[in-house]
């Protein structure tokens, strides 16, 4: 990756890989639009391709790979790579979206859940898993996004699909909260993992915190925030534009 403070308009057109730590509450679409706008505004570019290599929910934070110019053709390479996430599951209640986007709709007992049971679930939930995506997702069925069915209150059958969980580590248990780190394949829904955990522990659960920490060899530790990216245009070496 290049020193972003000295990138020219042609550098962005030729192609750049930009790593961002997506802020809480932002959609992936909003982040891409903001990055595109900053590049166009500061370098006087009328049109430039900018795209991301994997969506994050608005309530998730962490690593997003954003490609510009000719490198947008490489997006599929990154989308297929292994991902790593950290997060928190709240036991004892479910939500329709499997996270905090919607309110708790059912509550369940947690008194019977032992730490040993939590560790045992994580150990068993590895390898090839048949996972059912949440209805509050952007997947399409019959030409419509699943979340459109959900918001309309319509019932829809969602088939399971095989995903891979390479490693599932429990990092903290403070009932009813459980912190975790997971390495998984493309197509894994961590919200569904949280839901499955609740079900597997004869209770209910939903996701309260989620951060994507890695995509392939790229880490969130290498990522910048939007403020840093915006300031990079102010401190850049304008002599390179000549």
Task: State the DSSP string of 138-185.
Answer: S-EETTEEHHHHHHTT-------EEEEEEEEEEEEEETTEEEEEEEE-
Instruction: Say what the pLDDT of residue 239 is.
Output: 46
- pLDDT for 62: 97
DSSP string, the chain: ---GGG--HHHHHH-EEEEEEEPTT--HHHHHHHHHHHHHHHHT-S---EEESS---TT-EEEEEEEEGGGGGGHHHHHTS-EEEEEEEEETEE-TTSSTTS---EE---TT--HHHHHHHHHHS-EEEEEPPPSSSS-EETTEEHHHHHHTT-------EEEEEEEEEEEEEETTEEEEEEEE-TT--HHHHHHHHHHHTTS-EEEEEEEEEEETTEEGGG-B-HHHHHHHHHSS-GGGG-
Four-point Cα dihedral 80, 85, 88, 90, nearest 10: 20
Consecutive 10-residue averages of pLDDT for the chain (242 residues): 75 94 94 95 92 92 96 92 97 95 95 98 97 74 64 71 97 98 95 97 98 97 92 65 44
pLDDT on residue 242: 41
Confirm whether 57 is a catalytic residue: yes
- pLDDT, position 145: 67
Annotated catalytic residue within 57, 99, 111, 237:
57
Distances (CA, A) of 60 to 14, 30, 110: 30, 13, 25
pLDDT of res. 134: 83
Model pLDDT, residue 67: 96
pLDDT of residue 8: 87
What is the per-residue pLDDT for 72?
A: 95
| Res 141: pLDDT | 63
Predicted local confidence at residue 144, as pLDDT: 63
């Amino acid at each position: 990756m290049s020193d972003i403070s000295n990138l020219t308009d042609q550098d962005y057109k030729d192609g750049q890989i930009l790593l961002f730590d997506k802020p809480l509450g932002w959609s992936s679409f909003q982040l891409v639009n903001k990055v595109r706008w900053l590049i166009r505004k500061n370098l006087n570019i009328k049109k430039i391709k900018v795209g991301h290599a994997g969506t994050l929910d608005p309530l998730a934070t962490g690593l997003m790979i954003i490609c510009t110019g000719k490198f947008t053709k490489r997006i599929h390479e990154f989308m297929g790579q292994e991902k790593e996430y950290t997060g928190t599951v709240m036991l004892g209640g479910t939500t329709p979206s499997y996270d905090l986007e919607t309110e708790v709709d059912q509550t369940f007992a947690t008194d019977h859940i032992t730490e040993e049971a939590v560790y045992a679930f994580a150990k068993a939930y590895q390898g090839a898993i048949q996972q059912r995506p949440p209805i509050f997702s952007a997947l399409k069925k019959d030409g419509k996004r699943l979340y459109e069915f959900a918001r309309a209150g319509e019932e829809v059958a969602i088939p399971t699909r095989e995903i891979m969980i390479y490693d599932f580590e429990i990092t903290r248990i403070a009932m009813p909260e459980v912190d975790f780190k997971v390495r998984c394949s493309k197509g894994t829904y961590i919200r569904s993992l949280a839901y499955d955990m609740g079900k597997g522990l004869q209770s209910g659960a939903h996701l309260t915190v989620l951060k994507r920490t890695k995509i392939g060899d790229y880490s969130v530790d290498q990522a910048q925030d939007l403020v840093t990216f915006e300031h990079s245009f102010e401190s850049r070496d304008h002599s390179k534009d000549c």
